[in-house]
Amino acid sequence: MAVGASVSTNTTGRRDGGSQPKSSLKKFSQRRSTIAFALCLPLILLVSAFVIYPAFYALYLSMLNKKMTAFVGLNNFTFLLKRNTFQLVIYQSCLFAISAVLIKALLGFIIAHLMHNIPGKNQRIWRGLLLVPWVIPLALSTLTWWWMFDSSYSAFNWILNQFGFEGVPWLGVGWIARLCTIAVNVWYGTPFFMIMYLAALKSVPEQLYEAASIDGANSVQKLLFVTLPMMRNIISITVLFSLIVTFADFDIVRILTAGGPQDNTHVFATYAFQIGIQSGDIPLGAADSLFMFPMLAFAAFFVLRGVTKRTKEIAA
Amino acid sequence: MSATTMESRAAKRANSLARQRVWALWGSYIALGVFVIIFLVPPFYTIITSLKTSAEISAQSGSPWMVKDPTLENFWYLITYPNFQIYYLNSVMITVLTVVISMVISILAAFSLSRMGFWGSQALSTGVFLTYLVPPSLLFIPLFQIVGMLGLINSVWCLALLYPTLAVPFCTWIMIGYFSSIPKELDEAALIDGAGYLQMLFKIFIPVAMPGIIAATIFAFTVAWGAFLYPLAYLYTSNQMVLTVGIISDLIRGDVFQWGKIMAACLLASLPPIVIYAFLMDYYVAGLTAGATKG
């Protein structure tokens, strides 16, 4: 579909080139835009073939029956919404994404401030150490978390036992397992917030703080009336971006719990994998992942708005 | 008020400010230390476990946080284990391919979008940014069908086709930012000297925007090396797998978890990203934060 559109603009571009008056400047700009388009062509083809086409194909797939032989309209969507497990999935996805992002944002903000306090030449090594969770591929570090939460020989339970507490069935009980998935996500994602906020903190002009202290502002007032307003845009961009990534997370839940116990930790992505790939009901799986779309579109809209606003601010 | 009291008050105030600053500094170091320790617990535990023998792990006695007689046998087992070698080779191959394909596509597109422009190039830039926000878990089911149609199910090559879709949008976005910051006078001078567009790209833009290219390359590398969902969904025999899924499917057989070997494999598999980040972190952080603070 989009492939067709891009090809047609290409041919019209060429036809125009032939019929243009022979002004050399126009010809030059014509040639320029043809080359420009040709340079973008690989990108357009890639995105059309593996992002735009699949998106529409997903819509089509989600309206078929399980054997993909008949058109069933919106039945898959209504079927999912009526299912208890799926209601749990919606609840857990929102809980997982929102609480993880809030904790990450808060911790990232605190750590960025601590980092900003220490002298610049020492920041590099501390930043390097704090970025380790974010550097290790998530699928691999989640394996370590799984092993630490292990039911028979949990490293955490050993510590609890040393202090005389009972061991905790980390991944065996619904609520605890939910908290575990959130904790792993916070561990992985906080460094990202930290570097974004640290960069933002560094971009706040020092004169503003000086002016504030001359006016007698204390550090809380400086934070509320200088730092936060200056960082507002970056905070919102980072939070919304992380909301998208966290909402669509697959690795952590898949490896840690595979959705269990009793489907308590399933998020959209893992549930789609289970019904679509493992149980072979492709249309139902496609419908499941499409439920993510409104949330993602909402966040994407505001990220885009924030980024455009930011670009204009810098240009001005 | 005499001058001397004012002076001494000012001195006292400066003194207390300095003391406050020292306290804030030490407090920051201590708090950062606590955070570092918490953040580094899992990597530390990975290393500890990877040095244990299977017997020591299954004995389940004593502190799991210590290792009694450290051994490298897990690492040796993996290095000489043919399946693991295949996973590693597949990962390297796919990552190199992804990086090359992504960088070629995104540098060409970014050059055109930031400098030349054509009808609809503004909309295309916005579209590229929006594509970056599409997570892999949104489209993996239709892609499963598409990969099937292309006959690439259970072929490691399908990843070289799909990973660039995850890497290219952000790489293009970074490169547009870096290319736009190059002064226009440079390309005017080149055009007057009779350079073509491609010459301009190779002789001016690529060398000047090298930091951006490094940042984008690291991003593409990270995406390709760590991706988990696509290989898990589309590959199922061990000769086609990459590291992230190979470790899980090979070293976990039913209820038998060879944790020592799994942890050693995690370490070996995390080594390339850690080495790359250790040397090139500054470029990556600069590229990543430029997206938010500049453009």
Residue B38 pLDDT level (bands cut at 50, 70, 90): very high
> What is the pLDDT, as a whole number, of residue B289?
75
Q: Is residue A68 part of a domain?
A: no
Instruction: Output the pLDDT for position B295.
Output: 37
Residues A140, A48 share a domain? no
Cβ-based contacts of A303 with chain B (< 8 Å): 133
Looking at the structure, do residues A140 and A228 belong to the same domain, yes or no?
Answer: yes
Looking at the structure, do residues A119 and A53 belong to the same domain, yes or no? no
Name the average pLDDT for chain B.
86
Contact A42 B111 (CB under 8 A): no
Strands (DSSP E) found in chain B: 252-253, 256-257
A307 to chain B: nearest residue by CA?
B295
Residues A54 and A86 in one domain: no
Contact criterion met (CB below 8 Å) for B141 and A286: yes
pLDDT digits (tens, 9 = 90+) for B43-97: 999 999 899 888 888 777 778 888 888 888 889 999 999 999 999 999 999 999 9
Q: Is residue A85 part of a domain?
A: yes
Chain A, residues 253-292, CB within 8 A of chain B, namely 254-255, 268-269, 272-273, 276-277, 282, 285-286, 289-290, 292
Whether chain B has a CB inside 8 Å of the CB on A160: the answer is no
Q: Is residue A248 part of a domain?
A: yes
This prediction's pTM: 0.86
Considering only residues A238 and B16, tell me which one the structure prediction assigns the higher pLDDT: A238
Report how far residue A121's alpha carbon sits from residue A11's, in angstroms, rounded to the nearest whole number. 56
Closest CA to B101 of B171, B192, B19: B171
A191/B contact by beta carbon, under 8 A: yes
Give tens-digit pLDDT for A159-183: 888 888 887 888 888 888 999 999 9
Residues B116, A39: C-beta atoms closer than 8 Å = yes
Listed by number, the residues of chain A in 80-119 with a beta carbon closer than 8 Å to a beta carbon of chain B are 107, 110-111, 114-115, 117-118
Residue B4 confidence (pLDDT):
60
Is A213 within a domain? yes
The CATH number for A170's domain is 1.10.3720.10
Instruction: Tell me which of A163-167, A298-302, B3-7, B187-191 is least confident.
Output: B3-7
Q: Do B143 and A54 touch (CB under 8 A)?
A: yes
Cross-chain CB nearest to B112 (options A9, A39, A148): A39
Are the CB atoms for B215 and B284 separated by under 8 Å? yes
A66 is a domain residue = no
A301 and A219 fall within a common domain: yes
Q: Is residue A53 part of a domain?
A: yes
Q: What is the model's pLDDT at position A19?
A: 45
Interface test with chain A among B48, B138, B163, by most A beta carbons within 10 Å: B138
**Do the chains contact at B289 and A196, CB–CB below 8 Å?**
yes
Residues A11 and A155 in one domain: no
Out of B106, B274, B293, closest to residue A199 by CB:
B293
Q: Enter the ipTM.
A: 0.86
Q: Which two tokens stand for residue B72?
A: 């490298």
Is residue B292 predicted with pLDDT exceeding 70? Answer: no
DSSP 8-state assignment for residue B44:
H
Q: What is the mean pLDDT of residues B206-218?
A: 90
For B127-171, the pLDDT digits (tens) are 888 898 889 888 999 999 999 999 998 999 999 999 999 999 999
Looking at the partner chain, which of B225, B248, B259 has a beta carbon nearest the beta carbon of A147? B259
Contact state of B128 with A43 under an 8 Å Cβ cutoff: yes
- Of the candidates B28, B116, B127, the beta carbon closest to that of A33 is on B116
Structural domains counted in chain A: 2
How far apart CA B261 and CA A65 sit, in angstroms, is 43
In angstroms, the separation between the Cα of residue A24 and the nearest Cα of chain B is: 15
Dihedral of CA atoms A23, A25, A27, A31 in degrees, nearest 10, equals 180
Percent of chain B surpassing pLDDT 90: 41
Q: Which of A55, A77, A103, A83 is nearest to A246 (CA)?
A: A103
Please check whether residues A147 and A22 belong to one and the same domain. no
Q: Which of A16, A30, A33, A51 to mutate to test the interface with B (most CBs of B within 10 A)?
A: A51
In a domain, A292, yes or no: yes
Stretches where chain A sits below pLDDT 70 are 1-22, 314-316
**Amino acid making up residue B108:** L
DSSP B52: S
Place of tokens 């559109």: A5
Would you call B164 and A33 a contact, using CB atoms and an 8 Å cutoff?
no
**For residues A221 and A212, is the Cβ–Cβ distance under 8 A?**
yes
- The pLDDT, as a whole number, for residue B43 is 93
The reply to whether residue B39 touches residue A238, judged by beta carbons under 8 angstroms, is no
Domain that holds residue A290: 77-315
Instruction: Give the pLDDT band (50/70/90) at residue B2.
Output: low
Give the pLDDT of residue B47: 92
User: Distance between CA atoms of A82 and B283, rounded to whole angstroms?
Assistant: 49
* Chain A residues touching B277 at Cβ < 8 A: 128, 131, 135
Which of A39, A139, A248 is opposite residue B244, by nearest beta carbon? Answer: A139
Element (H, E) at A241: helix A228-247
Same domain, A84 and A153: yes
pLDDT for res B6: 62
State residue A268 phi and psi, 5-degree precision.
-50, -45
Angle at B275 between CA B273 and CA B276, to 5 degrees: 65
Does residue A261 sit in helix, strand or coil? coil
**A54 Cα to chain B: minimum distance (Å):** 5
Residues with Cβ within 8 Å of residue B218, at least 6 apart in sequence: B276, B277, B280, B283, B284, B287
Nearest chain B Cα to A68, which residue?
B145
